[in-house]
Structure 1
């Protein structure tokens, strides 16, 4: 079985599936550039927990974790199955690497049980894998932890790529909600372009130390990421993969980079 890459995509605003444009076109063709995955391990900026947690739901629900968008968006559904066996495998690999991983199951009355697909997962996948037949398991992020922590999570999960599992990290190369422009096609500010360019160059150079220390190394890092959760998925993909290359770029709503990266 051919090894799959690990991917990082910027999912932008929740209305991605109903916004025609280059990012939609890119995502629709994305999985056609590689062997069909047996399963997808998704890491989204929108599931944050104290410890690494893996979803083991057999049939995850579609979560509409946003408000104020076109009603058509709330009528979309992503009915991909879960994969409890893969979830257990992910937990075992994380435990072997020294992480204390938890599991989120279907059972119980806890409101956090049966973790569904948040928009960081389903809005890009409804374009990239619209048949919704590939099983999807989700892994949470730890926002209080460092890029290195997430890079090491990715390293622990790297062997899954040789077993037909696509590691699919979804966040944002730049993410400052305060700079959101109501015009979808507004030009990006210079500070967002500078950070976006730096990120592409550091990944192309495989400069892992600089990337892990991006907060001090990159221009306007804190302005582009007032909080880190939207960039943390990239470090999981980086740790799980090899050398990286940018496979898509562009901006929406002004300061929202739509950059995507592939790590082989």
Structure 2
């Protein structure tokens, strides 16, 4: 059975960089057996009702600006899988989770940047999913939990975001390896809660975690909450492994968490 993953997508420029993190993502794509499909929750697709893609082939969305022209020439023409979309519909219906199908939207950079690195051939079907910051963490967790049986069908569930993601605090012009203490303190607290599966504490991270207001500002919650979707999808096992953590630009975290054990 495949695990679920939380994968930080960092800055879009990762797609054309060669560094420790991009090399790690390339390796992790070979770590697991080839998935039947990938369900990806992206921080860059927000909606008040859960969206589920139902497309034949995705367009590549360039939802960013000011980067090298090379980045805008990248295509990730993943196809969809209507049978997996139907399975997701069944999961949501059985738990009375409201949803809507989306037949037009392409893959935003929160999805395609990491998928391009992990699975460069775009030969695994993808089902794209939205996130909703207006839900409670428990509700986000429950949406992920409703999909856990998909993992038994060799479907890889990936949640893409960033656990320390404050664009007002990053120093894009400085990438000398210096890490802000506040970011480390937040991530250390988070690691303990995740590895011990203290979900009630995690659900109240905004009031309990050190430096939460810096690590997860109100305008950046959409990058943090994919964590809850990914953890919910492994509620049957409740095991967590930190596979990678590094930082760029002073405090932008590149974390990859595996939830559930590969069997």
Bin the TM-score by the shorter chain.
over 0.9
Aligned counterpart, 1:206: 197
Which residue of 119, 126, 131 maps to 2:109? Answer: 119
How far residue 213 of structure 1 moved from its aligned partner, in angstroms, is: 1.4
How far residue 186 of structure 1 moved from its aligned partner, in angstroms, is: 4.5
Q: Is 1:58 the counterpart of 2:49 in the alignment?
A: no
Q: Which stretch shows the higher mean deviation, 244-253 or 80-89?
A: 80-89
- Matched position secondary structure for 2:26: helix
Aligned counterpart, 2:121: 131
- What residue ranges of structure 2 are gaps of 5+ in the alignment? none
> Structure 2 matches for 1:224-263, cutoff 5 A?
224-227=215-218, 228-241=221-234, 242-263=238-259
CA distance in 2, matches of 1:206, 1:14: 31
The 8 Å contact of residues 204 and 244 in structure 1, kept in 2 or not, is answered as yes
CA distance in 1, matches of 2:231, 2:36: 21
How many residues end up aligned between the 2 structures?
254
Superposed CA offset, 1:47-88 (max 9, x none): 000111101011010000000011111111111111122112
Q: Is 1:141 the counterpart of 2:131 in the alignment?
A: yes
- What residue ranges of structure 1 are gaps of 5+ in the alignment? 106-113
RMSD of the TM alignment (CA)? 1.0
CA distance in 1, matches of 2:83, 2:176: 43
TM-score (ref. length: structure 1): 0.94
> Structure 2 matches for 1:74-113, cutoff 5 A?
74-105=72-103
CA distance in 2, matches of 1:37, 1:26: 18
> Structure 2 matches for 1:152-163, cutoff 5 A?
152-163=142-153
CA distance in 2, matches of 1:215, 1:45: 18
